[in-house]
Structures are given as C-alpha cells and as structure tokens.
Amino acid sequence: MAQNQQQQSPTQDNQQQRAAQKQFSGDASYYNPTGHKTANGDVYDPTKKTGAIQADKVNLGKTVEVTYTTTDKQGTAVTKTVKVLINDRGPWATDNHGKALHPLQPHPTRIIDLSPAAFKDLVGSKAPGVVPVIVTVPNEGDK
C-alpha cells in the first residue's frame, strides 16, 4: 500500500457497506397459495421462509432481511429480523373480494408477501395480518 493512502477502519467499511444496501419500507403480509408454482418454478411451501416482492426491487433467488419493530408490554422497542428467500412476485392489488386485479398491479402499500413460516418467525403469530417492515437487500458480496 502506498504511504499516502489511508486504510479504512472496519467500522468505516461496515458503514459504507450498509449505506450501499438497498432498503424499502412499507407493509408486509403473509400469503398462502399452497400447491401453486412460484415465479421461479418451485412449488410453494408455506413451511419455508420465502417471500414475494416486485421485480424492480429484488431478483428471484436473492435472500433479503425483513425487519419488524414493535413495542412490548413494558414499552420497550423490540426488533426482529428474518432472512427470506425471494422466490415469487407480488404483492398484488386486490378487489373487494381479495382477488388479484387483472392486469396485475402492484399493491399500493404492501412491499412484500411472506410465507406463513417467515411471518410467524418475524411477528410471533399470524394474528396482525399486516405489519410495517423494512426490507434490506444485502450487497452482491454479502451472504
């Protein structure tokens, strides 16, 4: 290394890496199209931690981190994060009967649909149905 170059500290490297990650905030819900094929061709499995997200946000086959923050009974913020494999597309806007609109249109507020396994791991139950989250897309070099 040349003498006039400064080496970055691990803290600076971590801050730059986090700054380069893509993040999206919005609502997450769970979906359960058991037995249907996902966008990547797999048969949907509700027991796996998978998710559906719009194509312009994340490529199929990428693992993202979904973070949910809530407040416990003592008023303390509790943050949970789950890693989810993106294997499908969505969430889609629906009509009053819960059927996807055709042609398909992105949902106006939901940014990710999670499998029941991923949603339960993140939230603790499926009871709320929809929760605010932050989706972080790791950099290409991240595992």
Provide the CATH number for the domain formed by 23-137 in this structure: 2.40.40.10
Q: Give the mean pLDDT of the chain.
A: 85
77-124, pLDDT tens digit by residue?
999 999 999 999 999 888 888 888 888 888 889 999 999 999 999 998
Q: Which tokens belong to 18?
A: 């986090």
Domain definitions of the chain by residue range: 23-137
Is the Cβ–Cβ distance between 139 and 21 less than 8 Å? yes
Query: Is the CB of residue 135 less than 8 Å from the CB of residue 64?
Result: yes
Long-range contacts of 71-75 (CB under 8 A, 24+ apart): none
Model confidence at 22, pLDDT cuts 50, 70, 90, reads very high
Residue 110 belongs to what H/E stretch? strand 110-114
- Beta strand 63-71 pairing with 77-88: antiparallel
For residue 1, is pLDDT > 60? no
- Which pTM does this prediction carry? 0.80
